Amino acid sequence: MPITHILSKLVLSASSALVAFGCWKLGERVWHNLRSPLRILQGPKGTSWLYGNLKDIFKAENSVLHEQWVEQYGTTLKYKGFFFSDRLFTMDTRALNHVLTHSSDYQKPSQVRYNLSRILGEGVLFVEGAQHRQQRRIMNPAFGPAQIRALTDIFLSKSIKLRDIWSTMTVASEHAARMDIMPWLSKMTLDVIGVENYASHGLSLYDAQLSRATRAMRAPFPRFAMYTRARVPALARPMAPAIQKHPSTVHQAP
């Protein structure tokens, strides 16, 4: 039997398996949406069959789009995630209290846990249930009142540095200045963690390369890749080396 005939059969078999798996996952998603209690909630229509409303969220300023949705649909609504999957969003304080006080019933989604494990390891932010409670008991002594007070000088120093940066930005503007403070607060948090845990006095507040990497991780494709690997763990190992070999996508991020 010619080698080309064998290869064509292998390719056909692999393609058939991938198509069958895709159809099965699509059917599973459709069936889940039809039976989901979220189907009775109002919410915005998805603008993309692949990204749902996620591209709109990525492009909008922090919380602006969600606030518009709350005004239109109420404090509890649904929006579309990847492949038109339903996602719950609520600002109802009773609902939030219920979720936060029943963490064992409302565990983090698989893609969120996968992303956290890739960045922070399988620590307290990753584990759930009894293992999470055990790790919290181990860590609690490090977060007592005395330990928190010891961090005051670091918080104060970094806060003053961030204040100076904002002052420079506002002085440079001839008119009233408007800025998105959330990325700056994230950078300051990273600085505080670096100083306290690693004796690092590098300033992510000024690190343009780190800023580009952060924006790259928030871009739609990396999020889609992480979502896919979380949903299909078998893809995690084959995809990771390819991404690591092409870091230019991070440096070229806008």
Residue type, 167: S
If one counts the domains in the chain, the total is 1
Which pLDDT value is given to residue 68? 93
* Model confidence pLDDT, tens digit, residues 225-235: 555 555 555 45
Query: Does 195 map to a domain?
Result: no
Residue 166 neighbours by CB distance under 10 Å? 14
Query: Does 124 map to a domain?
Result: yes
Q: CA–CA separation, 119 vs 231, rounded Å? A: 17
* DSSP letter (8 states) at residue 74: -
Which pLDDT value is given to residue 222? 52
* List of the chain residues with pLDDT < 50: 220-221, 234, 236-254
Going from the C-alpha of 111 to that of each of 88, 126, 214, the distances in angstroms are: 16, 11, 18
Those residues whose C-beta lies under 8 Å from the C-beta of residue 178, and which sit 6 or more positions away, are none
Task: From 226, 224, 190, select the one nearest 112 (Cα to Cα).
Answer: 226
- 124 half-sphere exposure, CB direction, 13 A CA radius: 8
* Model confidence pLDDT, tens digit, residues 65-78: 999 999 999 999 99
Q: CA–CA separation, 139 vs 135, rounded Å? A: 6
Q: CA–CA separation, 102 vs 155, rounded Å? A: 31
Which pLDDT value is given to residue 35? 82
Q: CA–CA separation, 138 vs 222, rounded Å? A: 34
Which pLDDT value is given to residue 168? 86
Q: Are 155 and 192 in contact (CB under 8 A)?
A: yes
Query: Does 250 map to a domain?
Result: no
Looking at the DSSP assignment, which residues form a beta bridge with residue 29? none
Query: Does 173 map to a domain?
Result: no
Query: Does 100 map to a domain?
Result: no
Which pLDDT value is given to residue 173? 74
DSSP letters, 12-30, are HHHHHHHHHHHHHHHHHHH
Q: Is 74 left (phi over 0), alpha (psi -120 to 50) or beta?
A: left
Residue type, 199: A
Query: Does 125 map to a domain?
Result: yes
Helix (H) or strand (E) holding 31: helix 3-35
Longest dimension (CA), the chain: 78
Query: Does 24 map to a domain?
Result: no
Q: Domain span at residue 123?
A: 108-149
Which pLDDT value is given to residue 69? 94
Q: Are 232 and 114 in contact (CB under 8 A)?
A: no
pTM of the model: 0.57
Query: Does 132 map to a domain?
Result: yes
Cα-to-chain-centroid distance, residue 243: 18
